[in-house]
Structure 1
Amino acid sequence: MAARAYDELRADEAAVWDRFYAEFAFRPRVREFPAIKEPAPSVTWSLASVDDSAVDRLAEVVHEALATLAGSGSVLALDWQHPCYRVWPSRIGPDTVDPPASPGWPLSPYPDGDYFIYLAEDFRFGTFGHPWELSLCVFGAELLRLTEVDLHELLGDPMRRTPVIA
């Protein structure tokens, strides 16, 4: 039997969210942006003009980079106020047994109505999708190195950039 590509965070979910709120100063708001203290380095793009084909390409770019960085390990996929997951990207594919029995990633980086967040297990890189600002913040030097050129081409000039502090 094939291994699951992702499992719902159950026992760990409260601790993960507590750490996220603390480390990112998360302030869920409909009108005040950004909702997190964007870490350095990070780049935030507007998603306001993204169409369906761009959403697919956005997911492809981000998921591929997360898979590269995770290797055989896992990343966290957080959906605010909804079930969250631990994802093993190397297991995603047609031969996996995924809840709810459909192969693929449990979330898109595109925030479809709620905050969608991908995080390294140690929080050193990830994405933060803001549904009301319609933005995507990509952070961590490793993840930016793998995604920035493609996301710039897809989404245009960034809204914000948080440089590395020397």
Structure 2
Amino acid sequence: MWRGIEEHLGSEQVSRVVYGAIIGMALIVVLEHHPPTAGVTTATLVATALAVALAELYSDWIGHVMKHRGGFQRRDLHHIAADVSAVAIGIVFPDIFFLLATFGVMELDTAFTVAKWSGLALITLYGYAAGRLSGESRGRSALQALAVTGIGIALIGFKALVH
């Protein structure tokens, strides 16, 4: 298990998961003000993940074709699909809490709170892991994690100021 985690943390998909997690957090922060049902929130996150994934797939394909002047192989699609999947996973990461709310295991307000803060924790942990894997000290890695955490706090804070 640790080897799989280490492989994942050393892959290019880490940045894509963080990107997706930030999109998911932004959506949750917006939906929280006038929350739909838990099921609608789940469907909205899945639909957003699909839309962003398809946009990513198309834009990566176009970029690849333009860069390589038309050359596109099956292995290229595999690499692009891995990146696209990572973004989608980052977006739907908080869906587990809304599924729990759909089945009455937790309240909808609690699902929004846990989804928001777990998204913040996810991007913080990825920020720290990125620093450590790049050879930075624990202190510098923590500073890197705090910097990326600032993005999530800005999203949450902006919502609090606007509403």
| TM-score between both structures, scaled by the size of structure 2 | 0.28
Higher strand share: 1
Higher helix share: 2
- Work out which of the two has the higher radius of gyration on C-alpha atoms and give 1 or 2: 2
